Structure 1
């Protein structure tokens, strides 16, 4: 069984103890040094701490403002880091409350409880101790294109489409609106002309009928830092534009929704 030391400040026990308990269930109480059960009444605190730090296989340093201001915790993690530098133990920082890691620890990959939450942190710690190195994708929902909406609803909407990383060679988009197709029109700011249509009538589950306005510039691409702004305006005497979604043509005749970003 691996020996595991949990270095923390007593004020952080509400977040450290659930980790200790989960590890105890797997490896047993004797393999997990957690002061509430590893140090009993009458024991020498320093003596027990020294035993725990003598030869752990894994040292978990729970980094918080409290632990960084604790003289005892500082002694623990600095001693453990020295052992880790000699290859004797595995030093695993666990960032808890968002405080920056000590500069000398910054070279270590850390587990981010502050960002990922309790459940994910416990699983990451279990996996690290068990030696699991399976890659878990975190960016499967990436979209190079996003759009923002600005303007005056009663007059016109300005929809700016941006590329975050990659160049998009096909700048053709469909704008889904609740308005009748003949009541609104679309153009591109700064463009001499646009390719418009053929517009489509679309049936959306839960929303009913909508109009799909299709538009693209005659030439050009969308690149990072070079967005395209479309303007949709209702004709006189017609109700304001009601935008439902923006879709990008990813292959001939096939449109996929792109995410809406928050206007900065």
Structure 2
């Protein structure tokens, strides 16, 4: 099968997986952000984690299909636009000079109302990220280490400080907000429905990278994709019961096979052509 047929086959398989995740979660991806006054959707922690374990490799596979679909697409960046300089308010200019300025309460309320109106008029749209999240933060930046609340150390002085009771560890049945999960599912479904548009979007990012307008060099992170089990998946040996091949382990899921094929397509698309 050629590249386009492989991309289409994996795209349809991913759409089927996304539809199954939406059905299991019982979410409405047509409305990503709940309206004001409505109850935010929640899921039990165990179900939220189970969906997330499949959503991560599905997102990684979709990114690789977009990279493969963008092969051969060339984009010319428009000339840079001049930024319009906005007039600096007098209060802000005086504060930069170190002069304390007080604003009337009515002026503060008017500014807050205008900011809320602008936010409501321009709803935030969520798109599938084209770049893999890196394992570590920016180069030469220390990793933020956090300790869960139930494992935090306690420092007490007997007779002076009362013992502090630590919160109980999270339970599998605890309700977890599913707003962000719903937005990620909606973004993934929209990207799979408009794969050519996402490919042009990646071609624009690639043109910006070639013009040295971005800091990232490769859209893929080093090593294996996030959420996949590629170390235990062999596309050649999978499904062959006899001869030299061996059966795939039971822990391999369908999304792992899709991610393995999509990863191979993306690596092939990112290869530089031999011009020698």
| TM class, shorter-length | under 0.3
* Higher strand content, 1 or 2: 1
- TM-score with structure 2 setting the length: 0.20
* Higher helix content, 1 or 2: 2
Whichever of the two has the greater Rg, that structure is 1
Higher relative contact order (CA 8 A, sep 6+): 2
- TM-score with structure 1 setting the length: 0.20
